[in-house]
Structure 1
Amino acid sequence: MRVGLTGGVASGKSTVAEILRELGATIIDGDVLAREVVEKGTPGLDQVVEAFGRDILTPDGDLDRPRLGAIVFNDAERRQVLESIVHPLVFERYAALEAATGPDDLVVHDIPLLAETGRADGFDAVLVVDVPDEVRIERMLRDRGWTREDAESRIASQATREQRLAIATHVIDNAGTRDELRARVEQVFAELTT
């Protein structure tokens, strides 16, 4: 079974993925793949440099993520340019990793921007980790040390809560305790594997 897992920044999607992994799911993480496809020496990084210039590299030749982030998270047009480079490369890696799994495996594709890419209908189920925006902002301020402006800007750059909920076959509420979250994830896992 192919499952898409998504949620906005600071929703707890990574925690949900880890619980699913503990329960036996195979997790294919879009964030990890998005980093891999633009590592030093990759064609992906070459394409990003061609589009954004050498200023987005560190002195060692790695991608300077904070510098690139400052460019794309405040400019929708530039963000689309980046996504047009990275998304096809990530989906190519997804397909290769999925092909290596067994026929009875529950394969969870951890895709932060699933609602934005319009690919939700390619999955047997879509899990959306849902948290009110204000809770997400509080988490970013507390856990990541971001400013309110940075947090609001990141939220504004992603799909709205309503857009994510519209693609959900299963909603995982993460506004409660860790135990409540685990219980809900276990419930969804059981539904998907029986």
Structure 2
Amino acid sequence: MLKIGITGGIGVGKTVVCRMFALLGAPIYDSDARAKWLMRHDEALRQELIAAYGPQTFTKAGDLNRPYLSTIVFNDLERLEQLNSLVHPHVGNDFANWAATHADKPYVLKEAALMYESDAWKQMDQIITVYAPADVRIRRLLQRDPHRTEADIKAIMAKQLSEEERMARADHIIYNDDRQLLIPQVLKLHAHFSAITA
């Protein structure tokens, strides 16, 4: 079974691409969703977060106190890196366990915005980068997230790995630039991955 990573910056359309692969029968691991789940349900990780950020990290109901955590980490690069260094190993272990349950499939996909930053790429056999130009991404995000301004989006993009570096490190690139059709690109890669493991 191949482990395929899928990454790309905010607004490139990773989720849409993953849905297409899912329709073809590929199991999809959503790193962001699982990280949120693990922060709430993995007792070892909960204790690490409380030790690092204090008891206010969780509400009385046991939910992650996102507003509190955001005020601590998002304007402090060191604290953000600390948070990532606590969460990513748990996500890596969770992915390995999840992948083992899909050993009958030709390949699985792990969607992760921070594929390289978290070292998740080291668990992968191949990497797909989804690419879209900055102006297309900004337009999409302004429609999708009306609470964000163009300046907000540009600030997020500036903190992420550059598209050039992602593309240089990728084994495959899917162009979601509103010019090239997505479905033929996904079908071609699906056939490729399925043939490798046939």
- Indicate the TM-score class for this superposition, using the shorter chain for normalisation: 0.7 to 0.9
Paired letter, 2:28: I
Q: What is the TM-score with the length of structure 1 in the denominator?
A: 0.88
Paired letter, 2:88: H
Q: Secondary structure at the match of 2:80?
A: helix
1:81 Cα offset (Å): 0.5
1:155 Cα offset (Å): 1.5
Kindly provide the CA deviation profile for residues 164-185 of structure 1, in whole angstroms up to 9, marking residues without a partner as x: 11221110111116x8112211
The runs of at least 4 aligned residues of structure 1 exceeding 6 Å deviation read none
Residues 103 and 40 of structure 1, relative CA distance in 2, 3 Å threshold: closer
Is 2:164 aligned against 1:171? no
Residues 166 and 72 of structure 1, relative CA distance in 2, 3 Å threshold: farther
Map of 2:94 onto structure 1: 93
Q: Secondary structure at the match of 1:185?
A: helix
Paired letter, 2:161: A
C-alpha distance in 2, partners of 1:126/1:41? 28
Residues 67 and 132 of structure 1, relative CA distance in 2, 3 Å threshold: farther
Kindly provide the CA deviation profile for residues 116-162 of structure 1, in whole angstroms up to 9, marking residues without a partner as x: 12342542221111112232222222211212232122222221112
Paired letter, 1:87: H
Map of 1:127 onto structure 2: 128
C-alpha distance in 1, partners of 2:58/2:132? 34
Kindly provide the CA deviation profile for residues 103-128 of structure 1, in whole angstroms up to 9, marking residues without a partner as x: 44311111221121234254222111
Number of equivalent positions: 193
Q: After TM superposition, list the pairs within 5 Å mapping 1:88-167 onto structure 2.
A: 88-145=89-146, 146-167=148-169
Map of 1:189 onto structure 2: 190
Q: After TM superposition, list the pairs within 5 Å mapping 1:6-45 onto structure 2.
A: 6-39=7-40, 42-45=43-46
Gaps of 5+ in 2: none
Q: Secondary structure at the match of 1:107?
A: strand
C-alpha distance in 1, partners of 2:176/2:34? 25
C-alpha distance in 2, partners of 1:50/1:77? 16
Q: What is the TM-score with the length of structure 2 in the denominator?
A: 0.86
1:48 Cα offset (Å): 1.9
Residues 16 and 161 of structure 1, relative CA distance in 2, 3 Å threshold: same
Paired letter, 2:137: R
C-alpha distance in 2, partners of 1:54/1:48? 9
C-alpha distance in 1, partners of 2:104/2:42? 34
C-alpha distance in 2, partners of 1:48/1:134? 37
Q: Secondary structure at the match of 1:114?
A: coil
C-alpha distance in 2, partners of 1:66/1:16? 30
C-alpha distance in 2, partners of 1:84/1:69? 16
C-alpha distance in 2, partners of 1:131/1:73? 25
